[in-house]
Structure 1
Amino acid sequence: MLALIQRNDPDAVLRLYERFMQLVTKSEGTEDVSGDGLEEGEGSTEYDALASATYSSVDTMPYKPGRATVLLSGITACAMKDDFLGALHMCLNTVIRPQHYAITTFMNKLKGNRPLQRKVEEYVSLLRSATMVAHPTELSKRVNQLATSRSIRSIEKLYQSIMDGISGPAPCMVAHESAKTVEMPVVFTEVGWTSFMVAFLKCGRKDLAAQMWDDMIGLDVQPGVSTWTAYIDACDGISAYNEAVAGWGMMLEQGVKPEALSYRAIISTYFNARQTDKAMDTFRTFLEDAAKESPERQQLAVYNTVMHGLLIAGRVDEATATFQKMVDEGPRPDVVSYNTFLKFWARTSNFKMLSSVMNDMVAAGIKGDIFSFSTILSALLKVGRDDAPELMIALMRKQGVEPNVAIYSAIMDQQLREQTVEALHTAMRLLQRMELDPTSQPNEVTYTSFLAGIYRGSWLPPAVAEDWRRNIVDRMKRRGIKLNRVTYHILLKACLEYPEPEGVETAMIYYREMVKQKIHIISITWYILLSGLLRRGELGAANEILADMARSGVQPTGAVAELVYKARKRVGRRAIA
């Protein structure tokens, strides 16, 4: 195809592209061919709860080399014919998503024709944004990932590229469904606007959120109820209570009718701002104006928020009355409703009421979940009950839940997520109990969960975290339990998210253990290491990884190749050599 491009024969390139896509469709059906160069998930579903965090930001479809080049060749042919619409439809009709590394490599092959190279670069830039906008779920996922990692520059760059695609010199997208045409088939939907607004607020950039709002108004986009709800929720999440309340007022002024989740958001805001009376006034308005027409699941969200807020405010009688109203009139309380009271009574060490709530759950046919039993365990140990694990197990069996290693491990993980010293010791008590019980012996998942919990966040000082790490590792060695590749991935990710320098040191310890034990290092391993090290600016450690990759002869592809490209730019080619 490149030879045909050099011969200035775009029609022949397009014929080859169509033939290629026909063959792909015929041989693979609807298989996702976007491939990021990362192997599919490893291990059994036993690891799903723990491993989900490891793979949250990485596509795991098999990589198919050459497909990005084929698509880019097709785009180049369209550029040669001044057919941007054809290139756009080409991208919209495939799931191939060329990564930056593949694009850079391809562009280097066009250096002999600089005008064409520049034109293709412009096409590709617009097409990448348009393709993502055309798939709102894909766009929302990407923006959320960037917000979670606080990559504000990347979010801002992506947003600006979309604005350029809507109102720039060569528009290829529209901001209204009504403006959609054959020439402009891509619409920036409310999902997209909402995703960016939440991301800007989550990253603490109120100025960018405000600018985005101005862009919406300038493009005659009227924010819908979903956008307003997300805005209020996001403001509540960053304690911007005044902005949330102002947003609620503006939504009403503009005649946007709030839905149940909108009420839930503003009620939560009022409670968190310690304006309990306003929260209850708003709740009563919800009951009068919106409750009957709202789905039961959304009604439950409102009721549960109200009960939680009342309990935090110390208005226990009102919370209890609200719960009773649910029992008598609906919506029927769910496990979250009961957990709300369990948490409150556990915090106040009121075991009589704890027992009463558990009995009510049994009578209502509601089984407790991991949070329920973890709460009970914490409360029992808090008052010094040495038989706490046994009492918790008795309660589980009373509710028809048979404890096993998976449940114990999940409860222990829940404890560690509380990130307090008390919860840490509770988790250890449960681990010790498992080690003594021949029917519930801890496995690698259990110990991995504990190790990951130590480095999740910065709640433990580095020296303390290291002492606990050694303790758990020693326990594993005594039992002959070895970490495998999946568990190492979980630990690498957790350590690289630990903000202290010791997090990087521990991650490198685990990486070197993998090498020493001859555990095959795969694409996901390289991805976790390089993405974490680059995010933290640890260029020395990144250079070590790059050198190891070079010595091993691995040829990075897809997302890993993208990271290698970025790492080489930052580290410098001399450092790598």
Structure 2
Amino acid sequence: MALFRKAEKLCGGEGKESMHVATYNAVIHGLLINGQAADAEAIPDVYTYTTIFDTLLQSNRPDAVMRMLDVMETAKIPANTATYTAIIDCLIRRKGEKNVRAALQLANKMEADGIPANEVTFTSLLAGVSRDDELPAMVQKQLVAEIMAKMTARGMEPNRVTQTFLLLAALKADSKTGIDQAMQIWREAIAEKGNPGHIPHPTYFILLTGLAKNERYDHVQEVMEYIYRSGWQPKGPLEKLIKQLSMEIALRG
């Protein structure tokens, strides 16, 4: 907070509501470049840098990623997987194609610099893309494929968490291709372990809800019959959903 107070004082806006975030960021940026972060009695964290990054993106700067990294280097912020992943996660949570692509660009830059992205990095990217309602379905599909290609190239297999986000992205496509892709992900997941309990309740909930929304009751029946045959007993919201869908299918004849 001391860093922000110093920025506020230098802007002559202490206590005023008219101070704009871009003004703060410009002064904070200047303090960092001039090595005055220590004088301000504060060490900037990932949120500080993400805010500055956001301002650079809002200004439509094509060099936003490089400028951000320059600021971090000047402030002697350690360039490691954890730092990059934290900034990527903060950035991608802000939604919008511009932020998502900037996060991917940052991931590419860290790997180009010999800093390996890990499963946490890729899961964060997948989660952000899958949950982003502002992204067009085709863009979302393209970005998911790009992230998965990077994971595959590094020998990383989708875990239970990434499978959930892949399902979510596929079902959001609202197309036959998306539905087929979601079913393929599910079939591969159960073939791997042969046990429906291996897949988390939320994943089944997302899958069945998405299939029902698209009126693909043939696939709904396939999933539910597999669960029944296995003897696995769902609990809570998933159990209620299965009962509801069973009634809907019965009414449809």
Same fold (TM over 0.5): yes
The counterpart of 1:553, out of the listed 224, 227, 231, is 231
Q: Indicate conservation of the 8 Å contact 1:373/1:396, yes or no.
A: no
Aligned to 1:572, the other structure's residue is in SS state: helix
Aligned-partner Cα distance in 2 for 1:565–1:370: 45
Name the counterpart of 1:388. Answer: 67
Aligned pairs for 1:155-554 (under 5 A) are 320-322=11-13, 324-325=14-15, 343-345=21-23, 351=26, 353-356=27-30, 358=32, 362-379=38-55, 382-385=60-63, 387-388=66-67, 390-397=69-76, 401-438=77-114, 440-492=115-167, 498=172, 500-502=173-175, 507-518=182-193, 520-522=195-197, 525-530=200-205, 533-534=208-209, 537-539=213-215, 540=217, 541-554=219-232
Q: Could you report, residue by residue, the CA deviation over 1:407-450 in whole angstroms, capped at 9, with x for unpaired residues?
A: 31221122222323322221121111122233x30112211221
Q: Could you report, residue by residue, the CA deviation over 1:46-83 in whole angstroms, capped at 9, with x for unpaired residues?
A: xxxxxxxxxxxxxxxxxxxxxxxxxxxxxxxxxxxxxx
Point out the structure with max Rg over C-alpha.
1
Aligned to 2:200, the other structure's residue is in SS state: helix
The 1:354–1:489 alpha-carbon spacing in structure 2 relative to 1, beyond 3 Å, is same
Structure 1 residue 493: Cα displacement? 5.0
Structure 1 residue 550: Cα displacement? 2.3
Structure 1 residue 491: Cα displacement? 4.2
Aligned-partner Cα distance in 2 for 1:482–1:558: 29
Aligned to 1:459, the other structure's residue is in SS state: coil
Q: Could you report, residue by residue, the CA deviation over 1:105-160 in whole angstroms, capped at 9, with x for unpaired residues?
A: xxxxxxxxxxxxxxxxxxxxxxxxxxxxxxxxxxxxxxxxxxxxxxxxxxxxxxxx
Q: Indicate conservation of the 8 Å contact 1:371/1:411, yes or no.
A: yes
Q: Could you report, residue by residue, the CA deviation over 1:24-66 in whole angstroms, capped at 9, with x for unpaired residues?
A: xxxxxxxxxxxxxxxxxxxxxxxxxxxxxxxxxxxxxxxxxxx
Aligned pairs for 1:121-132 (under 5 A) are none
Letter in 2 for 1:564: I
Q: Could you report, residue by residue, the CA deviation over 1:151-184 in whole angstroms, capped at 9, with x for unpaired residues?
A: xxxxxxxxxxxxxxxxxxxxxxxxxxxxxxxxxx
Aligned-partner Cα distance in 2 for 1:542–1:395: 55
Aligned-partner Cα distance in 1 for 2:71–2:170: 31
Structure 1 residue 473: Cα displacement? 1.4
Q: Indicate conservation of the 8 Å contact 2:189/2:199, yes or no.
A: no
Aligned-partner Cα distance in 1 for 2:54–2:224: 45
Name the counterpart of 1:570. Answer: 248
Aligned to 1:555, the other structure's residue is in SS state: coil
Letter in 1 for 2:30: S
Identity over the aligned pairs, expressed in percent? 26
The 1:525–1:492 alpha-carbon spacing in structure 2 relative to 1, beyond 3 Å, is farther
Aligned-partner Cα distance in 2 for 1:519–1:452: 26
The 1:364–1:537 alpha-carbon spacing in structure 2 relative to 1, beyond 3 Å, is same
Aligned-partner Cα distance in 1 for 2:195–2:42: 45
Q: Could you report, residue by residue, the CA deviation over 1:525-568 in whole angstroms, capped at 9, with x for unpaired residues?
A: 24432356337634524323212212333233444433322221
Structure 1 residue 505: Cα displacement? 5.5
The 1:501–1:524 alpha-carbon spacing in structure 2 relative to 1, beyond 3 Å, is same
Aligned to 2:50, the other structure's residue is in SS state: helix
* Structure 2 residues without counterparts, runs of 5 or longer: none
The 1:494–1:357 alpha-carbon spacing in structure 2 relative to 1, beyond 3 Å, is farther
Aligned-partner Cα distance in 1 for 2:209–2:242: 10
Aligned-partner Cα distance in 2 for 1:410–1:344: 22
Aligned-partner Cα distance in 2 for 1:448–1:370: 18
Q: Indicate conservation of the 8 Å contact 2:130/2:168, yes or no.
A: no
The 1:527–1:463 alpha-carbon spacing in structure 2 relative to 1, beyond 3 Å, is closer
Q: Indicate conservation of the 8 Å contact 1:451/1:472, yes or no.
A: yes
The 1:543–1:321 alpha-carbon spacing in structure 2 relative to 1, beyond 3 Å, is farther
Aligned-partner Cα distance in 2 for 1:432–1:458: 24
Aligned to 1:363, the other structure's residue is in SS state: coil
The 1:520–1:366 alpha-carbon spacing in structure 2 relative to 1, beyond 3 Å, is farther
Task: Give aligned pairs, total.
Answer: 238
Structure 1 residue 395: Cα displacement? 4.5
Aligned-partner Cα distance in 1 for 2:86–2:182: 23
Q: Indicate conservation of the 8 Å contact 2:107/2:117, yes or no.
A: yes
Structure 1 residue 479: Cα displacement? 1.1
Q: Indicate conservation of the 8 Å contact 1:412/1:430, yes or no.
A: yes
Structure 1 residue 514: Cα displacement? 1.6
Structure 1 residue 517: Cα displacement? 3.4
